[in-house]
Amino acid sequence: MARDESSGGHPTTAAPPAGDTGDGRSSTWLVEGSTDAVEVAGRYDRWAGTYDDDLRSWSYRAPAVVADLLVTRMPSADSVLDAGCGTGLVGHALRVAGFAGEVHGIDISGASLRIAEETGAYTTLARADLQQPIDLAADAVDAVVCVGVMTYVPDVDAAWREFARVVRPGGLVIVTQREDLWAPRRCEAVIERLFAEGVWAPLEVTGPAPYLPDNTDGMGPVGVHYVTARVS
């Protein structure tokens, strides 16, 4: 059951800037990738109704790629946190890939969560801001997947540490990061630092691969990196 909490510190929906339709399809907004939680929540609330169709038309493959990585790398996994689950594309992809365990979804957009609930792919759904600590105990799940979300989370180190915190030792963290943000946010350095500190061991870092190749509004040339790490 989706839990759409409108209080308790969660962002409220913001109006779009003058002259902007406010939907997520704005090429400028997508390329810039705002990290303001209120703006991100509002954009995805307004975009939720057409999001799946838009992403399908842009040949978005990341959910299926990550689902295949998880079931291949950890076929014994019984529970997954989909961090930034949106409308449920990753949860659906996990089920298509044969994952039969618990899938817990969190997202900043209440409207997106309501659509995710309709997929039937999720065990639980709750609203959350990934720039804040995740409301889960340590070692709570076998894996965390985070797909198409790190654009909006500027502190990569803090986010990836938090993902590792909630995963049991031996479990997986699988994340994506846009090619144009990879170097500016020092993602390679974060991967190595977490390895040196014994937080995780990177298994595979690939890309840049096609991200939204059929988007003609500015995102088409932008690639994506996939990071798979085993929690120590």
What is the 3-state secondary structure of 127-152? ECCCCCCCCCCCCCEEEEEECCCHHH
Rounded to a whole number, what is the distance in angstroms from the first to the last CA of the chain? 32
Residues 50-108: tens digit of each pLDDT? 999 999 999 999 999 999 999 999 999 999 999 999 999 999 999 999 999 999 999 99
pLDDT at 154: 97
Classify 226 as helix, strand or coil.
Answer: strand
Tokens linked to 88: 């449920």
Tokens linked to 29: 């907004």
Residues 137-182: tens digit of each pLDDT? 999 999 999 999 999 999 999 999 999 999 999 999 999 999 999 9
Rounded average pLDDT over 99-123:
98
pLDDT at 28: 65
pLDDT at 218: 83
- CA 118 – CA 45 distance, rounded (Å): 16
Classify 92 as helix, strand or coil.
Answer: helix
pLDDT at 30: 74
Q: Which residues of 130-151 are buried (b: 16+ CB within 10 A; e: fewer)?
A: bbeebebeeebbbbbbbbbbbb
Which of 112-126, 193-207, 215-229 bottoms out in mean pLDDT, i.e. has the lowest?
Answer: 215-229
Phi and psi for 162 in degrees, rounded to 5? -65, -40
Residues 13-38: tens digit of each pLDDT? 333 333 344 444 445 667 777 888 99
> Per this entry, what is the length of the chain?
232
